[in-house]
Structures are given as structure tokens and as C-alpha cells.
Amino acid sequence: MSTPTVPYRSTTVPQHQHGLAGRVAASVSTPGGAVFVLAFALLVATIFANSNFGDPGYLIRFLGRTAPIAIAAIGQYYVIVSGEFDLSMGAVIAAQVVIAGDYIGDDQSRIVPGLVLMLALGAFIGLVNGLLTTLLRVPSFIVTLATMLALAGLVRYLSGGAASGYPHDDLRQLGRGVVENVPVVEVLPYPLIILGVLCVAAVWLMRRPFGRTLVAVGDNPDAAHVKGARVWWVKTRAFMISSLAATVAGILLVGSAGVHPSVGQGYEFRAITAVVLGGVVLGGGRGWVLSAVAGAFALEQLFTLLTVLEVDSTWRDSVQGVIIIAAVAVAARAWTVGRRPSPKAPPPEPARPASVTYEPTPGTPPEQPTPGANTGGN
């Protein structure tokens, strides 16, 4: 995990030694690629159990419904790949949802200021999480756990623990609305469009110097520091992205679900699970952002499959837990399998002086990634 990305040893990267098919096969054998297979397999299993679930109209709505979780997973990815955790995500969503209900309410003129307020609050929570983690050196696990509690208290205070009224329908359209009359899939839910835009932005951002530095920081913060990266600011921005992603998820959930303090509950768990299912290594430094998105879809597809199979409500959670543990365990094992090609040649690092000269300058072309590194699934 602490092996730095070394740009020179391109011949040791197995997936580039073969043609397209070989590269696809190599990608799929990494956890970051395998999650796509997993999501697809779960989809096939669901359709096999009940063919109605293969209907394009249903599938597109399913994707729309999963968009908030996928967006949360994108946010969580940035934090995890930088070597930290964000446990405050669910609480951020709940706080934003309750604020939308309380502040915006049925007043149309407050929608825009309300959204600005929510995004500002999201950025602020991320900033606090980031600064406490990086400057005060409190482990992010504790920092974000504390933020979670503080926000849960705020939600309880604002709402008294129960739902308030639903906010204005125009706001809810963001999460509930659809583009009508789309060929084949009938409709195109707004949340799915927003997710699509965010995916493109996320991939773009990971190819920018910020994204590359972020992975380097997660891989080895000391090395990144020596190379001149401002570790604290890079990580803080990752936390801000995470809280902003939670805010966007919250805005969509206000529309698709409604206002209730329980909205967002468990999102930190679902987001982290999605990221891990996507093959992103806890501790940082490895993983592709779109694999995290695929992880979110796989996770939700699993829940749907349990519904289709009519698993008894009293032990649904147990079944979910067991399957998630199994999937994550397989994902973790797969890393060792994915790295197998290189053990014969013992790596010459960590003392390799070349790694010091490597700088994540903006002009560095995105070539020769290690398997499963942030561009590995391409």
C-alpha cells in the first residue's frame, strides 16, 4: 500500500502488455473493475428472480433512486483515497434535509437562498472536519464521529426528532422530477442527470493535479509532503468535497423522499461500503472514483434483490450484513491476486531516489497507472 507510484516501470504493468481484450480482462480482475461485474451479476440475478426488474423504465428509475447514494460514495471516495474517513455524512444529509424543511418550507422565494445556505453549510462542515484532522492531527475517525454527533444533536433540536412539513414542490422537483418522453427508458430522472454531471466532474478532477496529489497523499503523506504537496490543504479539500456531496445527496433526497430526521441515516455506512466494494483501499492511495459509483449501484441492487426474494423483514439486516462482509472480504483478497504478477522481482524501493524527483506537476501525462490506481479502470 505504501508503494509509491513509479512512472518508469511501465513494462511491469500487466494490463498494458496485451491487446484491448487482455486489458479489459486485467481490469476486471482488479477489485476496481470487478465491482462492475458484481453489479451486473446482481442485476442479472434480480432479473432472473423477477423479469419485471429488467424493464428499462424500472431500471432508469432505479438508477435515479440510487443517485444520492452514488453521489455520497463519490464524496466519500475523495476522503478515503486520501487516507481518511468521513463518518459525518449521514448526519450532514439529515441536517440539510431538516433545514430544507424548516427554512425553505412552502416559501418559493426561499429556495435559492436556502440552497446557497445549505451548500455553504456543507462546505463549512467539511472545512471544520478537514482542519481538525490535518492541523490538530485528531484522527478523522474521531473528528467526523464527533461532527456526526453534533449534527445529530442539531437535527434533534431543530426537528424534535420528528418530521416537519414538506418543502415547496419546486425544490422537490430536483429530486423527484423526470424528463418525460425519452425513447426506450420512458423517463430520465433529474437525479440521474445530476449524478452523470458529477461523475464527469469527478473523473476530470481526479486527472487534475489535485486528484493526483490526493492519491499520492493517501498513499504516503510523508513522501507527498517531501515532494512539496500541501498535505493539510489537499485533505481539507477532500473533506469539503465529501460534505458538499452529502449536501447534494440531501437536496435530492428532500425531493425524492421528503423531510424526516431519519433521512440519511446509515449513509456513511452505505457510502463507505460502496467505496470499499468499489475496490478503493481503506487507508488511501488506491482506487478509481467510478468504481465507487459502481459500488453504490451494486449495494442498492443487493437490497433490491433481497426484496425480490422476499427475505423476511426481521432478519433482512443480518442477511445484508453477511453479504456485505463476504463481498468486502472478496474485494480485499482480490487486491492480493491483482498484485500477484510482480512478486518475483522484489521492488527496489522504498529507498529509490527517483521517487523523490517525481513531482505531480500539472503537465504529467496520465500514463502507465498501476493496476487499480485512479485511472486503472479505463
Partner 1 sequence: MRRTHVKSVLAGAAVLAVLTACSTDDSGGGSDTAGNDTAEQETEGSSDEWFVQADYDEQMEQMSATFSGPEDQPWLQYIEGPTTDTSQWATQESQKVCFANASISNPWRQTGWITMNQQLEVLQESKVISEMETRDAGDDDNQQIADIDYFISEGNCDVFIISPNSTAALTPAVERACETGKPVIVFDRGVETDCAATFIHPIGGYAWGIATAEFLVDNLEEGDKVVALRILPGVDVLETRWAAAEKIFEENGIEAVDYFTEANPETIKSIITDEITKGDVAGVWMDAGDGAVAAIEAFEDQGVDYPVMTGEDEMSFLRKWEETGLNGLAPVYSNFQWRTPLLAVEMIAKGEPVPTEWVLPQVPITEEERAAFLEANDGMPDGHYAKFGGEDLPGYPEVWQERQIP
Pairing of strands 186-189, 178-182: antiparallel
Name the segment binding partner 1 (CB under 8 A); options: 138-146, 277-285, 310-318, 360-368.
310-318
* Residue 361 backbone zone (phi > 0: left; psi -120 to 50: alpha; other: beta): beta
Residue indicated by cell numbers 453549510: 121
Cβ closest to partner 1, residue 56 vs residue 350? 56
Single-letter amino acid, residue 27: S
Q: Which of 240, 257, 292 is nearest to 126 (CA)?
A: 240
Cα–Cα distance, 130 to 234 (Å, whole number):
9
Task: Give yes or no for a contact between 354 and 6, defined as CB atoms under 8 angstroms apart.
Answer: yes
Nearer residue to partner 1 within complex by CB, 138 or 324: 324
Query: Of 3-32, which residues contact partner 1 (CB under 8 A)?
Result: none
Say whether residue 307 binds partner 1 (CB under 8 A). yes
Alpha helices in the chain (DSSP H): 20-28, 31-49, 56-81, 89-99, 111-134, 140-159, 169-176, 190-207, 209-219, 221-226, 231-256, 267-277, 289-308, 316-338, 354-357
* Contact by Cβ (8 Å): 131, 285: no
Query: Considering the complex, what minimum distance in angstroms separates the CB of residue 58 from partner 1?
Result: 5
* Residue 339 neighbours by CB distance under 10 Å: 15
Cβ-based nearer residue to partner 1, 264 or 372: 264
Q: Is 65 in the site for partner 1 (CB under 8 A)?
A: yes
Residue with Cβ nearer partner 1 (321 or 348): 321
Q: Is 189 helix (H, G, I), strand (E, B) or coil?
A: strand
Cβ neighbours around 321 below 10 Å, total: 11
Q: Which stretch binds partner 1 (CB under 8 A): 21-29, 74-82, 135-143, 318-326?
A: 318-326
Q: Is 153 in the site for partner 1 (CB under 8 A)?
A: no
Residue found under cell 490526493: 214
DSSP SS3 for 180: strand
Output 48 or 124, the one with its CB closest to partner 1: 48
Compute the least distance from the CB of residue 352 to partner 1, in Å.
Answer: 44
Cis amide bond preceding 350, omega within 30: yes
Show the binding pattern over residues 160-199: x = contacts partner 1 (CB under 8 A), - = does not.
xxxxxxx---------x-----------------------
Does 224 participate in binding partner 1 (rule CB under 8 A)? no
Kindly state the smallest distance separating residue 373's Cβ from partner 1, in Å: 32
Q: Which residue, among 2, 13, 16, has the nearest Cα to 355 in the 3D structure?
A: 2
Among 263, 272, 280, 294, binds partner 1 (CB under 8 A): 263
Q: How far is the CB of 338 from partner 1 (least distance, A)?
A: 24
Backbone φ and ψ for 278, nearest 5 degrees, come out as -75, 5
| Angle, alpha carbons 262-141-115 (nearest 5°) | 45
Residue 311 touches partner 1, criterion: CB under 8 A:
yes
In this chain, which of 13, 26, 38, 61 binds partner 1, going by CB under 8 A? 61
Out of 96, 304, 370, 374, point to the residue binding partner 1 (CB under 8 A). Answer: 304
Segment contacting partner 1 by CB under 8 A, of 110-118, 141-149, 224-232, 262-270 = 262-270
State yes or no: residue 48 binds partner 1 (CB under 8 A): yes
Q: Which range, of 19-27, 194-202, 285-293, 312-320, touches partner 1 by CB under 8 A?
A: 312-320
Does 319 sit near partner 1 (CB under 8 A)?
Answer: yes
Cell 458529477: give the residue. 198
Please report whether residue 270 would count as binding partner 1 according to CB under 8 A: no
Task: Give me the residues that bind partner 1 (CB under 8 A), please.
Answer: 45, 48-50, 52-53, 55, 58, 61, 65, 156, 160-166, 176, 253, 256-260, 262-263, 265, 303-304, 307-319, 321-323, 326
